[in-house]
Amino acid sequence: MKTAEMMNTYPAEITLDRDLLARTIDALAACAQACTACADACLSEESVAELRKCIRTNLDCGDICATTARVLSRHTGYDADLTRAQLQACAQACKSCGDECEQHADHHEHCRVCAEACRACEQACNELLAAIA
Model pLDDT for residues 56-108, shown as the tens digit of each residue: 999 999 999 999 999 999 988 888 899 999 999 999 999 999 999 999 999 99
Residues in the chain: 133
Q: Give the residue with greater pLDDT, 16 vs 39.
A: 39
Q: Which CATH number fits the domain 17-132, given the four candidates 1.10.10.10, 3.40.50.150, 1.20.1270.360, 1.20.58.1910?
A: 1.20.1270.360
The amino acid present at 5, given as its one-letter code, is E
Return the ∠ at Cα 25 (arms to 125 and 21), rounded to 5°: 75
In tens, the pLDDT along 25-50 reads 999 999 999 999 999 999 999 999 99
pTM given for the model:
0.94
Residue 110: closest CA among 39, 29, 7: 39
Distance of alpha carbon 89 from alpha carbon 28, whole angstroms: 13
